[in-house]
Each structure stands twice: as C-alpha cells, then as structure tokens.
C-alpha cells in the first residue's frame, strides 16, 4: 500500500518555521516573562490589526473565549442564546457554562452555516444573543444575522483570515488548537470585540475580574494566552494569508480533478478558507471505508449533532427536530486538505472516491 494520507498534516505547515520558532523561544526564555508581557501584547496588537478590529484579548482556548465573550455581554441565567447544532460541542457548551440555555437553529444545506430564517423563527422574549459559527472556514451570513437585532457573537475558531470575519459581531472568538488555520503549539484562544466596554470586561474576566491584581471587581477566571504560544503565533500570523491561499488552491484542485462528478462539493465563495474540505454523499460511510482501505484518512464531522448529544438531552430535542442539520451530519465527509498537500495525494483521494462510488474514470 502506498504512503498513508492524513486528514491534516500540521507538521508540514510549521516545519519550515522551526528555526524562526527556536529563535523566538530563546528570546522568551531569556526574558523570563511567561505570563502576559510583550509577546502577548505584541500578538494581541498584531492580531487586532490583521483582523481590522479595535480589541483583541488572548485567552486560554477557544472554549473559554466563547464563555468570556458571553459573560462580558451579560449573558447568564434565564437567557436564551441561539446557535447551530452542526458545530463543535464547545459552541453550545459555552452557552450553558455562561448559565444560559442553548436554542438550536437549523442550517442552510448549501453552506452548512446558520439559516437566518430559522434563527428568526426561534427568537423569543428571552433571547439575549446569537452565536454564529463560521463552519469549516466559511463565513456565516453575518449581515442577515445582524439584521435580526440581537447581540451577535462570531465563533470564528475555524476561520482566522476568512473574509469579513470579526467585523460584524460585537465579539468574535478564535481557537489556536493545533489543527486550526492559525494555531499555537498547544491550547490558545482569542476574543476580539468592536466595543470598548465589552473588551475591557473580557480583559478583566480572563484575570479573576481584576484590572490591577489588587482589586477584584467581578467573578472571573484564570484563562490566559501563554507568552510562548503568543511568540509562536507571531511567527505564524504573517504566514497565514499564504496558508489560506494554499488551502483554497487545494480545494480548487479537487474540483479540477473531477471530484464533483462523484460527491457534492462544498460551495465555493471567495471568503472561504477551507479549515476543512467537506463533501457530501448519501454513501458517506462506504466512501470513508474505501478511503481507509487505501490508507487515506477522512472524518465525518458532528455525526451526532449537538441537539442529540447526551448532555443536551435536557433541552428536549428529538431526532427530526433539525432536519437539515441531521442530514448534513449523516452525509458529510471531510477529505484530506492542508496548506501544502500535493497534487499526487489529491489524485489518490479522488481515485479512491471514484472506485468507491463505482464511476469509471
């Protein structure tokens, strides 16, 4: 069997940066500043500039970023927050951690992100916010969601660098988990905000509700971005546009190789940064098995959507509650894609899918 093809190859992306990383890590060791300090401030400034937002606040991970953003907006007990069920579990978990009730809305089957019409239908007098997810690197319909008139939080964990992200929602949140488009060498996260007061509250909440380490004004937490991760992120951020362009080129190559005759391809749009390259087929499981037999990794994302997860059972959703979410959960398959995947690897993926669905070349 030929060489296995992983779903993502994170090392292929950072390997060329190892000398630059070593230099920056040496400087951090020399400085002795591991918590806050110039690396964290430098990354916060550079990330804000990159995204075109006034405030960026480093935090411990993307889940904390969501909890802190919601808390800073005053979301809490008795509030409802609308979000998708076709996303990583943390999106809804964070709403519950903030003390509020997640209300799941269905997705648009073409884009797999929130359907604004279904969101509108679920707004009640208790709805305090909407959390939109830029799923798999595709921006959610921000203008339509903002027009619903509620505070909007963008869960941009999968979409650093996607067009327009973080410029509409009052807060946006990012994860630097190592497989995300922009990543740290461990856990890390970021909250951005367009609002000065909300940003100040996030800053306080990430450090025990304090501005000065003397007076504690809020019940916060300890959730910081470490200096060593900020140093790595400062090496990677300038490379991100090139990485995202490489992902878009790889996505285009799958289409050129004829994959669209075999499965439903993700709808392309210029702002999409393909955190994952996700196709659809009613024969998803057969295709995944055939790929595995060829040593090719693939992944069915969110195969049990959030409204049907055990921890969310108390909300009372049943199979059939969110038809498009459930269909996407049953049909989606992420295929190998990273910045730097080779044409020969992509040809092998397409050949294996073709053999699985029985269409002659």
Instruction: Give contact residues for ligand PLP (rule: CB under 6 A).
Output: 61-63, 87-88, 90-91, 133, 155, 157-158, 175, 177, 187, 189
Q: Which residues pair with 171 in a beta bridge?
A: 153, 193
CB 132 within 8 A of CB 140: yes
Nearer to ligand PLP, 176 or 207 (CB): 176
CB of 215 to ligand PLP, least distance (A): 29
CB of 140 to ligand PLP, least distance (A): 11
Q: Three-class SS of residue 211?
A: coil
CB of 295 to ligand PLP, least distance (A): 26
C-beta closer to ligand PLP: residue 88 or 104:
88
DSSP at 5:
B
Cα 152 → chain centroid: 16
Contact 319, 225 (CB under 8 A): no
Q: How far apart are CA 112 and CA 133, in angstroms?
A: 10
Query: In the structure encoding, which two tokens stand for residue 237, read together?
Result: 């951020």
Q: How far is the CB of 94 from ligand PLP (least distance, A)?
A: 7
Q: State which residue, 107 or 350, has the beta carbon closest to ligand PLP.
A: 107
Q: Output 61 or 281, the one with its CB closest to ligand PLP.
A: 61
Token output for 308: 């049907």
- Is 115:140 a contact under the CB 8 Å cutoff? no
DSSP string, 300-315: -TTSS-GGGSGGGGGG
Closer of 174 and 356 to ligand PLP (Cβ): 174
Q: How far is the CB of 197 from ligand PLP (least distance, A)?
A: 24
Name the residue nearer to ligand PLP (CB basis): 91 or 346.
91
Q: What share of the chain is helix, strand, coil (3-state, %, to 5)?
A: 45, 15, 40
| Min separation Cβ 91 and ligand PLP, Å | 5
Residue length, the chain?
Answer: 361
């Amino acid at each position: 069997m030929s060489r296995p093809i992983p779903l993502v190859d994170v090392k292929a992306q950072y390997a060329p940066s190892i000398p630059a990383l070593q230099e920056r890590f040496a400087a951090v060791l020399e400085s002795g500043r591991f918590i806050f300090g110039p690396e964290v401030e430098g990354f916060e400034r550079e990330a804000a500039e990159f995204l075109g937002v006034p405030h960026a606040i480093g935090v411990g991970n993307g889940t904390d970023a969501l909890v802190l953003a919601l808390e800073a907006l005053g979301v809490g007990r008795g509030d409802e927050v609308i979000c998708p069920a076709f996303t990583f579990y943390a999106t809804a978990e964070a709403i519950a951690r903030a003390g509020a009730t997640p209300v799941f809305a269905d997705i648009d089957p073409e884009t797999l992100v929130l359907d604004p019409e279904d969101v509108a239908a679920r707004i009640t007098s208790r709805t305090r916010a909407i959390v939109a997810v830029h799923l798999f690197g595709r921006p959610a319909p921000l203008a339509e969601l903002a027009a619903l008139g509620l505070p909007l939080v963008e869960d941009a964990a999968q979409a650093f660098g996607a067009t327009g992200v973080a410029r509409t929602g009052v807060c946006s949140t990012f994860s630097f988990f190592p497989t995300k488009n922009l990543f740290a060498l461990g856990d890390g996260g970021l909250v951005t905000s367009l609002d000065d007061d909300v940003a100040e509250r996030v800053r306080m909440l990430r450090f025990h509700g304090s501005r000065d380490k003397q007076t504690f004004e809020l019940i916060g937490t300890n959730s910081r971005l470490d200096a060593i991760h900020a140093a790595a992120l400062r090496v990677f951020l300038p490379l991100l546009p090139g990485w995202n362009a490489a992902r878009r080129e790889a996505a285009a190559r799958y289409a050129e190789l004829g994959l669209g005759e075999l499965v439903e391809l993700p709808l392309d749009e210029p702002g999409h940064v393909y955190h994952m390259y996700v196709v659809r087929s009613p024969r998803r499981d057969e295709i995944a098995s055939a790929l595995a037999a060829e040593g090719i990794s693939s992944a069915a994302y969110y195969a049990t959507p959030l409204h049907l997860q055990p921890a969310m059972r108390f909300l009372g959703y049943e199979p059939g509650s969110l038809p498009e979410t459930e269909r996407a959960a049953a049909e989606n398959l992420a295929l190998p894609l990273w910045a730097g995947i080779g044409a020969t690897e992509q040809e092998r993926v397409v050949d294996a899918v073709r053999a699985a669905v029985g269409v002659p070349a």
